[in-house]
Structure 1
């Protein structure tokens, strides 16, 4: 092989390597963008609120087989059970169970529990075959915990996030909105469910086979 052919193959390998790097960056990037869109959707539906949290407005529809509401002194607790479906402008969430913990409105009587009166949301917990769809992306997990005030989304129990660029799996996946960061963790107990990034295909890196090198 002459030097010109060698240089061409070397350039091809470097170019393919850069392409792979860009695809990995895009896949990681889409995870961060996804969580930003996710929390943008939550806050956009609520409009601007106090530092106490986000609110659910009539633009968000939650349906389920049953709903149990419990009122406490400073907060309300809503538990949706059975074929839960949350529909918003650009967001759909499905699960077997959904719990919403929200602050109580100051002007409501302590014994009052009003349907649709969520107030400032502190925490949302979805359990059982959780599926979140938004902007052409899909997230799956056994448990999803949303903390609107902190801007944090935690996916647990065989979580994965995927779109047309690739798929990310791990023991736990945490999205931090303010830091624009996605953290994929391994199970600390048995070191299973290692962080895994799966791309649609691997480009030709331009490496020569052993037989080609021997010629």
Structure 2
């Protein structure tokens, strides 16, 4: 069961977030300070991790207060725990932090939909480069895997804000005004 859960998390996280060049795969480890629970139905397996959840894997780490993973059954249920098929969703809530490569995302809620190659960040999401060169924030962010596309939705109450490195001087100088020549005293 533990191996199946680790495989579940590894595949889900690896397919959900785009990244830089991948390194050799390593085991994905999920730890939590509270309860772990899994419930199987004829069609789905729902696993929950509570309290100080930490997920580490190839080129990624995720921390949150609560993690819920939904996977579709691979075949008809034949065991108490079932066999994981493909992943339907992963929802992380409470102090969510995702670090992958040179990017970091923080928010109150992250929803990952591997089948749609989509991640939705809400509850004060912020995505930034770890070197601080760029920061993006807004009420709702939708990140699309494989398309290198992000949509940040703003509202009149909460605007989108993007901070980028300064634009280099392009060499245009303001026109300098020269003071008029001093008036000559009248000749006597």
TM-score normalised by length of structure 2: 0.74
Who is 1:73 aligned against?
Answer: 42
Q: Which residue of 2 aligns with 1:112?
A: 80
Verify: 1:213 aligned to 2:182, yes or no: no
Q: Deviations over 1:20-66 (max 9, x none)?
A: xxxxxxxxxxxxxx94228x97xx96xxxxxxxxxxxx822111121
Counterparts of 1:193 and 1:135 in 2: how far apart (Å)?
29
Please, which of 101, 104, 110 is the counterpart of residue 70 of structure 2? 101
Higher strand share: 2
- Equivalent-residue separation in structure 2 for 1:157 and 1:204 (angstroms): 37
Q: What's the counterpart of residue 161 of structure 2?
A: 196
**SS of the residue 1:173 aligns to:** strand
**Preserved CA contact (<8 Å) 1:125 1:144:** yes
Structure 2: runs of 5 or more not aligned: 1-15, 179-188
Aligned CA distance change for structure 1 residues 177 and 75 (closer, same or farther; 3 Å): same
Per the alignment, do residues 124 and 181 of structure 1 end up closer, same or farther by CA in structure 2, a change over 3 Å counting?
Answer: same
Aligned to 2:3: none
Larger Rg: 2
1:159 aligns to 2:131 (yes or no): no
1:205: Cα distance to partner? Answer: 5.4
Deviation at 1:202, TM superposition (A): 4.7
Cα distance, 1:118 vs structure 2: 3.5
Aligned: 1:168 with 2:131: no
- For structure 1, the 5+ residue unaligned runs are 1-33, 46-57
- Larger CA deviation: 199-208 vs 100-109: 199-208
- Which structure carries more helix by proportion? 1
Q: Higher relative contact order by CA 8 Å / sep ≥ 6: 1 or 2? A: 1
Question: Root-mean-square deviation (CA), in Å?
Answer: 2.6
Matches within 5 A, 1:1-215: 35-37=17-19, 59-64=27-32, 65-106=34-75, 108-109=77-78, 112-113=80-81, 117-163=83-129, 164=131, 165-187=133-155, 191-204=156-169, 208=173, 213-215=176-178
Is the contact between residue 42 and residue 76 of structure 2 (CA under 8 Å) also seen in structure 1? Answer: no
